[in-house]
Chain A
Amino acid sequence: MAAIYSLFIINKSGGLIYYKDYGSAGRMDTNDSLRLASLWHSMHAISQQLSPTVGCTGIDLLRADTFDLHCFQSLTGTKFFAICEPGAPYMELLLKGIYELYTDYVLKNPFYEMEMPIRCELFELNLSQAVQKDRVALLAR
């Protein structure tokens, strides 16, 4: 069983720009994934306002019985979040790694339009390698 079930990248206005399914269970159709992405975007924004602590940057981790949701927000407001097995370790590291891949293979690509859905072959390739590596590392642990 894969540690990571699915990965979402949303732009700063809450639009889904990348979605990838890794687990076999709980596949989502396009509409559901878009809905979940904008829902998470709003929840994240509300949580910042509601938080009693000063300087809160939003929800980093949401824990449920059947899944964990790890979220990483870049300085520009692009959010990366992954749904994974409950208690899966080192997800923040994987998300940061994915952010790095995004800056390399998406932002440096002259054919990518900002805030638009990501369709970059090199990003796909390196992302699947990173996820694969993460899985192997998880098995070794």
Chain B
Amino acid sequence: MIGVGKAKQYGNVLDKPLSRGRQEVSLSAFAFLFSELVQYNQTQVDNIAELERRLEDAGYAVGARVLELLCHRDKGNRRETRLLGILSFIHSTVWKVLFGKVADSLEKGTEHEDEYMISEKELLVNRFISVPKDMGAFNCGAFVAGIVRGVLDGAGFPAVVSAHFVPIEGQQRPRTTILIKFAEEVIKLLLQILKEFFVFVARKPRKSQYCP
């Protein structure tokens, strides 16, 4: 089929290149949609933990899809298989696509080996949201925590992810920290790989042994 002065026609939808699409959507539209999502879920639950879980589940579905899309679009169908690789992929690539900017910081937890934190001074989903005092430490960032969990889970790094408000000195508004705690098996696997690596290095014959 030949297009008459039009863009190239593709007979098969699968031949069509995956367009980068429009990079931005209206923040207001998103804010209203997100607000409705929270309000709807509020009608379905009877405690805050449940609400947090439901928001996280909604985010999980987004995360799983985002991983699939970005691996195809940005990484040429390759996926990060290293822990730090996937974390920095979330911190930069995923954040940039979803929120238009790289996350403010990615840190390793000081107390536990298996914890990592992504901090954001003002999380996009929290931009217009004031959580009432009676809801305690509830954070709508649970949705973003769900996205992170979705990406990590899809990439084979199961983790427990949660969102917390952390007050900053000299600032009226607290920042949001996404706490990532990897499942035991991930850490075990990492240790296993490290161990095997060291055994391999130790076994490697040294040159001097062969040259008398």
Contact = CB atoms under 8 A, between A and B. Distances in A.
A109 B129 CA distance: 5
B31 interface: yes
A111 B172 contact: no
Interface stretch (B12-20, B32-40, B81-89, B177-185): B32-40
A106 to B, nearest CB: 9
B28 A105 contact: no
Interface stretch (B102-110, B130-138, B192-200): B130-138
B35 A108 contact: yes
Given A105-B128, A108-B31, A125 B42 contact: no
B140 interface: yes
Interface residues of B, number: 19
Contacts, number: 37
A88 interface: no
A116 to B, nearest CB: 12
Contacts of A108: 28, 31-32, 35, 128-129
A85 B128 CA distance: 32
A66 to B, nearest CB: 35
A120 interface: yes
A104 to B, nearest CB: 6
Given A108-B35, A111-B135, A122 B130 contact: yes
B130 A111 contact: yes
A122 B132 contact: no
Nearest to A123: B130
A109 B35 contact: yes
User: Interface residues of B: mostly helix, strand, loop or mixed?
Assistant: helix
A121 interface: yes
Interface in A75-113: 104-105, 108-111
A110 B28 contact: no
A35 interface: no
Nearest to A118: B130
A121 B35 contact: no
A54 B179 CA distance: 61
A99 B42 CA distance: 27
B130 A109 contact: yes
Contact of B140 (A110, A119, A121): A110
Contacts of A119: 132
B128 A111 contact: no
B32 A111 contact: no
Interface string B107-141: 00000000000000000000011111001000010
Given A108-B31, A110-B35, A111-B135, A121 B128 contact: no
Which of A109, A110, A122, A125 has the most chain B CB atoms closer than 10 A to its own CB? Answer: A110
Given A108-B35, A110-B35, A111-B130, 14 more contacts: A105-B128, A105-B130, A108-B31, A108-B32, A108-B129, A109-B130, A110-B34, A110-B36, A110-B42, A111-B38, A111-B131, A111-B132, A122-B130, A125-B172
12 contacts: A104-B128, A105-B128, A105-B130, A108-B129, A109-B35, A109-B129, A110-B38, A110-B39, A110-B42, A111-B132, A120-B130, A122-B129
